[in-house]
Amino acid sequence: MGEYRNVAGLRIDPTKVGGANIFRPWGWTVVLIVSERVKLAMEEEGLSGTKFIEV
CA distance readout (Å), 8 to 4, 15, 18, 20:
11, 21, 23, 21
- Does 1 have pLDDT greater than 70? no
What is residue 21's predicted lDDT score, i.e. its pLDDT?
Answer: 93
Q: Which of 25, 22, 21 is nearest to 10 (CA)?
A: 25
Q: Where are the beta strands (DSSP E) in the chain?
A: 22-23, 33-34
What is residue 5's predicted lDDT score, i.e. its pLDDT?
Answer: 76
Q: Which of 12, 10, 16, 9 is nearest to 35 (CA)?
A: 12
Q: Which of 36, 15, 12, 16 is nearest to 24 (CA)?
A: 12
- Does 44 have pLDDT greater than 90? yes
**pLDDT digits over 6-43, tens only?**
777 788 888 998 999 999 888 888 889 999 999 999 99
